[in-house]
Amino acid sequence: MNRREFLITTSAAAIVPRITLAATRAELIAQPISAQILPEGEPATPMLGFNGSTPGPVVRARQGEVFDVRFLNQIGEGSAVHWHGLRSDNAMDGVPGLTQDVVEAGSEFAYRFRAPDAGTFWYHSHNRSWEQVAKGLYGPLIVDEPTPPDVDHDLIVMIDDWRMTEAGTLAEGFENMHDQAHQGRLGNFARALVEPQVTVRRGDRVRLRLINVATDRIFPVEIEGIDGKIVALDGMPLSDPHELSDFILAPAQRVDIIADVATSDQVAFVFPTRDGPYLLGEVPVAGENTERQPSVVRALPANETAQPDMGNAIPLTLTMQGGAMSRRMMQGMAGGGIWAFNGQSGLTDTPFHLFERGQTARIRLVNDTSFAHGIHLHGHHFFEVEADGDLGALRDTTLVDAGETRDIVCVFDNPGRWLLHCHMLGHQAAGMKTWVEVV
Ligand code: C2O
Ligand code: CU
């Protein structure tokens, strides 16, 4: 852990988390804040944050430890906190109406859960998330390996976009139907927020934990100035780390990279757009690390997960429907939203499927729409089935392009009621969600 992470500052306008709650006991106070989203000198933006900042503080523990988080809701409307990607207790999953009652304005909730997996996770509001997350209610949730990899810097890189007005406020219209029927609410200003803000040396070994915290935008990312490997996706280590190349982060997805600084200029996070490269953020480089011996980047220790029973996998199909430019929109869907799974928009009283604990399912995700969707399952990680039929990476959010079909394989071994939804939060708002139950 970096020394700077223990510093506490009182800067009210921070847009990077200044406080690491290194202890597993933490207090998260959701409240209105003012944040410097636009460059210094431009107006600050009224937003929502935790403990005075957006992103909220780094909540961090060691693998196997128990998080004890007292959540106080002072935003003036109901809220709840979801610990994205953590295979936690169902009662602590933070989904109002499914796993808990909404935490009313002015009240609080005690979250207490174990961190079974080491890796990069995040927390965010799960009530009216398309608006509360857009306004800033999220932060990083980091679980350290018992013996963390040997690096000089461990950096969290949260990528977000905001829809700003000329006056520096967030544009209204969080439930704009046109947005929801298309890609969702896309911002006009994007940044990579690096925490802690350090200067690195050429030759340093760094760990980068990228998190797409945007409500709806898919970010292709290029990183300039480092040489290394992708070691984990969505918090789960890759048994065979990939050579670092450009990659895509759907909303909520994470990528962990271990790499060596190979420039004396700056490490740059670049979002390639149709109008050319957009610089999201950078880490300055000064000096040289002459001590570090060159070494290969090794795989992180695997988290313990159940082996799927492929021979007895229950075959299921989840077809994404609706949105602009779709047949289905015209025909109408049960539930009346813009988006649906299998003809049903929004949650029903009965789950999409009821599993007995430990059962394996192979779910065919069929994207019968004109837009990409990042499908997220709560409480579990699943394998993406690769084109050749092999089981690929373990993820909690998978990006399925327009017209694409992808199979996922999941061992449903975590009891409870779990949401399964599109993490384009505007799509979720407009009905692209369902739930499963494990008994
Ligand atoms: Cu990131 Cu349903 O959550
Ligand atoms: Cu979607």
| pLDDT, tens digit (0-9, with 9 covering 90-100), for 96-130 | 999 999 999 999 999 999 999 999 999 999 999 99
For the chain, what is the mean pLDDT? 93
Whether the predicted pLDDT of 6 surpasses 50: no
Whether the predicted pLDDT of 198 surpasses 60: yes
In this structure, the answer to whether residues 169 and 200 fall within a common structural domain is yes
Q: Please name every residue paired with 236 in a beta bridge, in sequence order, or none if there are none.
A: 233
In this structure, the answer to whether residues 96 and 164 fall within a common structural domain is yes
In this structure, the answer to whether residues 80 and 216 fall within a common structural domain is yes
Nearest CA to ligand 1 atom 3: 84
Give a yes or no: residue 232 inside a domain.
Answer: yes
By percentage, how much of the chain surpasses pLDDT 90?
91
In this structure, the answer to whether residues 324 and 177 fall within a common structural domain is no
In this structure, the answer to whether residues 349 and 420 fall within a common structural domain is yes
User: How high is the pLDDT of residue 8?
Assistant: 30
197 vs 282: CA distance, rounded Å: 10
- Using the atom order of ligand 1, give the atom closest to the CA of residue 428: 2
In this structure, the answer to whether residues 335 and 279 fall within a common structural domain is no
Render the burial of 265-300: b for 16+ CB within 10 Å, e for the rest. ebbbbbbeeeeeeeebbbbebeeeeeebeeeebeeb
User: How high is the pLDDT of residue 20?
Assistant: 53
Whether the predicted pLDDT of 48 surpasses 80: yes
Amino acid at 311: G
Under 8 Å between Cβ of 47 and 170: yes
CA–centroid distance, 4 to ligand 2, in Å, is 38
Give a yes or no: residue 365 inside a domain.
Answer: yes
Whether the predicted pLDDT of 4 surpasses 50: no
Give a yes or no: residue 302 inside a domain.
Answer: no
In this structure, the answer to whether residues 373 and 237 fall within a common structural domain is no
Q: 131-190, pLDDT tens digit by residue?
A: 999 999 999 999 999 999 999 999 999 999 999 999 999 999 999 999 999 999 999 999
Domain CATH number, residue 182: 2.60.40.420
Give a yes or no: residue 303 inside a domain.
Answer: no
Positive or negative, the Cα torsion across 260, 262, 268, 273?
Answer: negative
Q: Which residues have a Cβ under 8 Å from the Cβ of 390 and sit 6 or more positions away?
A: none
User: How high is the pLDDT of residue 327?
Assistant: 67
Give a yes or no: residue 238 inside a domain.
Answer: yes
Give a yes or no: residue 350 inside a domain.
Answer: yes
- CB of 254 within 6 A of ligand 1: the answer is no
CA–centroid distance, 214 to ligand 1, in Å, is 12
Under 8 Å between Cβ of 168 and 45: yes
pTM for this one? 0.94
Place of tokens 């915290």: 213
Whether the predicted pLDDT of 3 surpasses 50: no
Element (H, E) at 244: none
Last residue of a domain, one of 288, 321, 349: 288
By percentage, how much of the chain surpasses pLDDT 70?
93
Number of domains in the chain: 2
In this structure, the answer to whether residues 209 and 335 fall within a common structural domain is no
Q: 343-369, pLDDT tens digit by residue?
A: 999 999 999 999 999 999 999 999 999
Q: Which ligand is nearest to the CA of 428?
A: 2
- CB of 427 within 6 A of ligand 1: the answer is no
In this structure, the answer to whether residues 349 and 247 fall within a common structural domain is no
Q: Which ligand is nearest to the CA of 95?
A: 1
Whether the predicted pLDDT of 341 surpasses 70: yes
Q: 263-288, pLDDT tens digit by residue?
A: 999 999 999 999 999 999 999 999 99
Under 8 Å between Cβ of 169 and 32: no
Q: What is the mean pLDDT of residues 382-400?
A: 97
- CB of 433 within 6 A of ligand 1: the answer is no
Render the burial of 357-378: b for 16+ CB within 10 Å, e for the rest. eebbbbbebbbbbbbbbbbbbb
DSSP string over 81-140: EEEET----GGGS--BTTTB--B-TT-EEEEEEE--S-EEEEEEE-SSHHHHTTTT-EEE
- Using the atom order of ligand 1, give the atom closest to the CA of residue 252: 1
Nearest CA to ligand 1 atom 1: 84
pLDDT tier for residue 329 given thresholds of 50, 70 and 90: low
CA–centroid distance, 204 to ligand 1, in Å, is 34
In this structure, the answer to whether residues 230 and 352 fall within a common structural domain is no
DSSP string over 21-71: E-SSEEEEEEEEEEE--SPTTSPPEEEEEETTBSS-PEEEEETTPEEEEEE
CA–centroid distance, 139 to ligand 1, in Å, is 13
The 3-state secondary structure of 411-424, one letter per residue: EECCCEEEEEEECC
Closest CA to 207 of 289, 285, 140, 119: 119
Q: 15-28, pLDDT tens digit by residue?
A: 545 455 444 889 99
- CB of 376 within 6 A of ligand 1: the answer is yes
User: How high is the pLDDT of residue 11?
Assistant: 37
Q: Which domain holds residue 432?
A: 310-438
Whether the predicted pLDDT of 244 surpasses 50: yes
Q: What is the mean pLDDT of residues 313-324?
A: 97
In this structure, the answer to whether residues 43 and 113 fall within a common structural domain is yes
- Using the atom order of ligand 1, give the atom closest to the CA of residue 124: 1
List the strands of the sheet with 397-400, edge to edge. 353-355, 433-438, 416-422, 373-377, 397-400
Give a yes or no: residue 304 inside a domain.
Answer: no
In this structure, the answer to whether residues 317 and 278 fall within a common structural domain is no
Give a yes or no: residue 214 inside a domain.
Answer: yes
408 vs 364: CA distance, rounded Å: 6
Whether the predicted pLDDT of 7 surpasses 50: no
User: How high is the pLDDT of residue 326?
Assistant: 79
